[in-house]
Amino acid sequence: MGRREGKKERLFLSAVVFATLGLVTVVGCASASGATPPAEEWRETFGGAGIDWAYSVQQTTDGGYIVAGFTDSYGAGDSDFWLVKTEANGTADWDKTFGGTSREVANSVQQTTDGGYI
């Protein structure tokens, strides 16, 4: 092993030790803080037999939620932009797909001041 190879191995080992210590420190701080996670209010599954994914969840002014993402289970094409509106208890109020034969995905959604969504 040449001098240069030994230096690379030491740098790699130092990086692994540093990364490992960083992980232990973060986990240690998180578990040592004693913080209690928030209580689960409800759990609901939306979707079908295909791949359905949510990228954004926002609480709405009526206490419910608007969820944006994509669905392969419903719609017109490869995957379609998908919005799901829920009641405050998680029950689906409505859902709507948007798209054609290509892949459409919603990355985020927000409620507007007039009660619509953008």
Q: Average pLDDT over the chain, rounded to whole?
A: 77
pTM: 0.67
pLDDT at 23 over 50: no
Q: Which tokens in the block code for residue 48?
A: 């079908």
**Cα distances (Å, whole numbers) of residue 5 to 2, 9, 64, 105:** 5, 6, 59, 47
Backbone angles phi, psi at 111, to 5 degrees: -85, 140
Q: Which residue has the tokens 């979707």?
A: 47
pLDDT surpasses 70 at 57: yes
Instruction: Give the three-state DSSP class for 15.
Output: helix
Q: Which two tokens stand for residue 6?
A: 């030994």
Eight-state DSSP code of residue 111: B
For the stretch 61-86, pLDDT in tens is: 999 999 999 999 998 878 999 999 99
For the chain, which residues make up each domain, given as ranges? 1-37, 48-118
**64 with 117: CB under 8 angstroms?**
no
CA–CA distance, 80 with 99 (Å, rounded to integer): 5
